[in-house]
Structure 1
Amino acid sequence: MSKRSKIAAGPGFSVTVLCNPSVLTERLGIAREEWPSTLRACQHDADAAWFAEAGRLTPEMLVSVRSLQTMAFQGLTRRTYVEARAIELVCDLWEQVAKQAPAPLGALDARTLTKVEKTRLHIDANFAEPLFMQGLARNVGTNETKLSQAFRTAFGMTVFEYVRNRRMEEARRLLRRFDMSVTEIAFEVGYEHSCNFSVAYKRHFGITPKSERAAASH
């Protein structure tokens, strides 16, 4: 487990905590059965390198971050202090995850799970294109209501929340490459107007695309 924090050039402030799954089971005593279904699925995917869970920066988390930024410890004491504060951040984030975790995958039968996973893979390959529930449901041989409910049960979000998340993740990756303009990136991830993209990006990450790029350049 490690701690990495970055203060953007503007109102945006983000903290990233990298945590090995063993910390959840061995240090915090959280059984795998209690993990969100999306995390459990990631653990069984040989090609998956990361699982990301976003949360809001609570006052308690902010205290931990500020303490890390101002600490004067050195050597082994510093490492121990960083680990302790990082554990606090993981606990605070997990508390948020636990409150909004979707139902266990076991709540869905195998046939429904196959349809949900097929839908997810289709979205991953086509998230920048216009997607409609009617077409997604027809693609897997079910109706819109059943697919919508099953998708939310499996992944803890609606189909279009998942689409938006995929668009935002790709947009952030492209912004940090510096070889495309913000307008070009907006089109690349499925937005017809860059102003709509900028509003959606700030709502999602709490920082504008331009501020994101400026922060990444430092």
Structure 2
Amino acid sequence: MAHIYHRIFDQFRVLDSEGASREDDFAEAARWLESPGCLFQRNNFILDRVIRAEGVIKAGLFVTIVLKGSGQGGPHRDTTRFRYSENSIVVMALRKPLLWTGETSSGGTRMFAAGLAFPKASIDRLGLQREFLELFSSAGSDEFVVTLKAPPRILAMATEMLSPTLDGRAEELLLSAHAMEILARVISIAGKRASMEMAGDHKQRRLRAIRDAIDADLRRPWKVSQLAREAGISRRSFNTHFRRAFGVSASEYLRKRRLESARDAIIEQGISINEAAYLAGYGNPANFATAFRKHFGYAPSRCRLPTS
């Protein structure tokens, strides 16, 4: 029997920090809404530990309205990561399938978020093909991702979807109506943001070049003043524009990428924790372990495969 997530994923898995599968737990809170043709994910629970998800997402438009909770996600092994937090909307449009990963920031926190996934076929059937394709005009790629502050109207609809007061067919109609309105409002808001980004595309290209330079040499002792100078932007403006483009400051981005690189090296190359600490720029392995646990929610030793 096909899993409900097969409607939006070609492949997928959801794991907690202990490595246990959680797909079915989340699927219990998901349902398919026939009228707009979308998957509705109701996330209303306390996370007992960090949750990590990955999979090949099909083409379409994906909207997550976060009322409580935080986390991050983005293309697998890509440097562009978006972050979400309270009262925000994450919009992701894909023109073709994409390998994607995401994770919650920590366990023991409340996750109160409504997710809507519209496959490309549903977007076309609803007559929104032009609006959908226009989102990619500024991205210069097959994906468009943006995090927005959620307007009060969308927050109200998401709240009602997460805690419905109706039952049966009436609930189905209400969920479908809210999903349709959210889609219409979000694709309009995202379209305006895409137009703004296209106007500042030259600056975006310079920032992406700086980001790529950081990724190409994570061990280099980068300084914000140097990065700003290479981008042709004042240091104060550089921090603002970098955070707006990538969700974090340049120094925070470098720290996270070093930790992610160290984690991948532990898993894929089997290097020691001390070597991983050096790779991430930490002279003290204990400080590295503390930063690693704070970022990922588990100790670096969990990345090592058990020896037989």
Whether 1:22 and 2:32 are equivalent positions in the alignment is no
Measured in 1, the distance between the counterparts of 2:236 and 2:49 equals: 37
Please provide the CA RMSD for this pair. 4.1
Residues 94-133 of structure 1 deviation map (CA, whole Å, 9 limit, x = unaligned):
xxx6659x99463461231122111101111122222111
- TM normalised by structure 2 equals 0.46
Residues 1:212 and 1:42: Cα distance change in structure 2 (over 3 Å):
farther
Residues 1:43 and 1:189: Cα distance change in structure 2 (over 3 Å):
farther
Structure number with higher helix proportion: 1
Q: 2:15 aligns with which of 5, 8, 18?
A: 5
Question: Sequence identity, in percent?
Answer: 22
Q: In the alignment, what sits opposite 1:65?
A: none
Measured in 2, the distance between the counterparts of 1:134 and 1:42 equals: 34
Q: Secondary structure at the match of 1:91?
A: strand
Q: In the alignment, what sits opposite 1:196?
A: 287
Residues 144-200 of structure 1 deviation map (CA, whole Å, 9 limit, x = unaligned):
112111111111111122112211211111111353110011111222221111111
Runs of 4+ that moved beyond 6 A: 39-42
Q: In the alignment, what sits opposite 2:256?
A: 165
Ranges in structure 2 where 5+ consecutive residues have no aligned partner: 1-8, 20-47, 66-73, 75-79, 83-90, 117-146, 151-189
Contact in 1 for aligned 2:53/2:102 (Cα 8 Å) = no
Amino acid at match of 1:139: E
Structure number with higher strand proportion: 2
Aligned residues: 174
Q: In the alignment, what sits opposite 1:55?
A: 104
Larger radius of gyration: 2
Contact in 2 for aligned 1:202/1:209 (Cα 8 Å) = yes
Ranges in structure 1 where 5+ consecutive residues have no aligned partner: 31-35, 62-87
Q: In the alignment, what sits opposite 2:115?
A: 91
Residues 1:208 and 1:181: Cα distance change in structure 2 (over 3 Å):
same
Residues 1:173 and 1:8: Cα distance change in structure 2 (over 3 Å):
same
Residues 37-67 of structure 1 deviation map (CA, whole Å, 9 limit, x = unaligned):
86799968x9x96443332455568xxxxxx
Contact in 2 for aligned 1:4/1:17 (Cα 8 Å) = yes
Amino acid at match of 2:55: L
Q: 2:237 aligns with which of 146, 151, 154?
A: 146
Residue 206 of structure 1 deviates from its aligned partner by 1.0
Residues 1:194 and 1:42: Cα distance change in structure 2 (over 3 Å):
farther
Measured in 2, the distance between the counterparts of 1:196 and 1:104 equals: 40
Amino acid at match of 1:145: R
Contact in 2 for aligned 1:174/1:185 (Cα 8 Å) = yes
Measured in 2, the distance between the counterparts of 1:50 and 1:120 equals: 20
Whether 1:175 and 2:185 are equivalent positions in the alignment is no
Contact in 2 for aligned 1:8/1:212 (Cα 8 Å) = no
